[in-house]
A and B are shown apart, each in its own frame.
Chain A
Amino acid sequence: MNFEAKIDKFINILIEQNGYVKVVEGLENTLKIAIVGLVIGIVIGTLIATVRVLPKYKVLPRILNGICSFYVAFFRGTPMVVQLLVFYYVALPLMGIRLPSLTVAMAVFGLNSGAYISEIMRSGIQSVDYGQMEGGRSVGLSFSTTMLKIVIPQAVKNILPTLGNEFIVLIKETSIVSFIGAADLYVAFNYIGSNSYEFMVPYLTMALIYIVLVCIISLLVKIMERSLHKSDRRN
Chain B
Amino acid sequence: MIDVINLRKSFGKVDVLKGIDIKINKGDVVVVIGPSGSGKSTFLRCLNCMEDPTDGNIIFNGVDIADPKVDINIHRRRIGMVFQHFNLFNNKTVIENIMLSPVLCAKSDRRKAVRKNLFSKEKQPVKSVKEIKAEARENAMALLKRIGLEDKADVYPSTLSGGQKQRVAIVRSLAMNPDVILFDEPTSALDPEMVGEVLEVMKELAKSGMTMVVVTHEMGFAKEVGSRIVFMDEGVITEENNPADFFGNPQNARLKEFLSKVLM
Contacts and interface: CB of A to CB of B under 8 A. Distances in A.
A138 B88 CA distance: 11
Contacts of A154: 90-91
Given A154-B91, A157-B91, A232 B158 contact: yes
A131 B101 contact: no
Contact of B73 (A141, A153, A231): A141
A117 B158 CA distance: 28
Contact of B158 (A136, A141, A149, A231): A231
A140 B89 contact: no
Contacts of A230: 156
A141 B156 contact: no
Interface residues of A, number: 24
Contact of A231 (B76, B91, B105, B172): B91
B152 to A, nearest CB: 11
A218 B109 CA distance: 43
Contacts of A94: none
A131 B87 contact: yes
Contacts of A139: 76-77, 80, 100-101, 172-173, 176
A18 interface: no
Given A139-B77, A140-B73, A131 B85 contact: yes
B83 A135 contact: yes
Interface in B80-134: 80-81, 83, 85-93, 100-101, 104-105
Nearest to B175: A139
A176 interface: no
Contact of B50 (A134, A141, A235): A134
B73 A142 contact: yes
Contact of A136 (B75, B85, B89, B93): B89
B155 A134 contact: no
Nearest to A128: B90
Contacts of B75: 140
Residue of A136, A150, A153, A231 ringed by the most chain B CB atoms within 10 A: A231
Contacts of A141: 73, 100-101, 104
A198 B127 CA distance: 70
B130 to A, nearest CB: 20
Contact of A132 (B76, B77, B89): B89
Contacts of A232: 156, 158
A129 to B, nearest CB: 8
A61 to B, nearest CB: 15
Given A138-B80, A235-B155, A132 B87 contact: yes
Nearest to A155: B91
Interface string B144-158: 000000000001101
A138 B173 contact: yes
B263 interface: no
Interface in A204-235: 230-235
Contact of A140 (B92, B105, B158): B105
B264 interface: no
Nearest to A234: B159
6 contacts: A135-B87, A136-B89, A138-B173, A139-B101, A139-B176, A142-B73
Given A139-B100, A141-B100, A231-B158, 20 more contacts: A135-B88, A136-B101, A138-B80, A139-B76, A139-B101, A139-B173, A140-B73, A140-B74, A141-B101, A145-B104, A150-B92, A153-B91, A154-B90, A157-B91, A231-B92, A231-B93, A233-B159, A234-B158, A234-B159, A235-B159
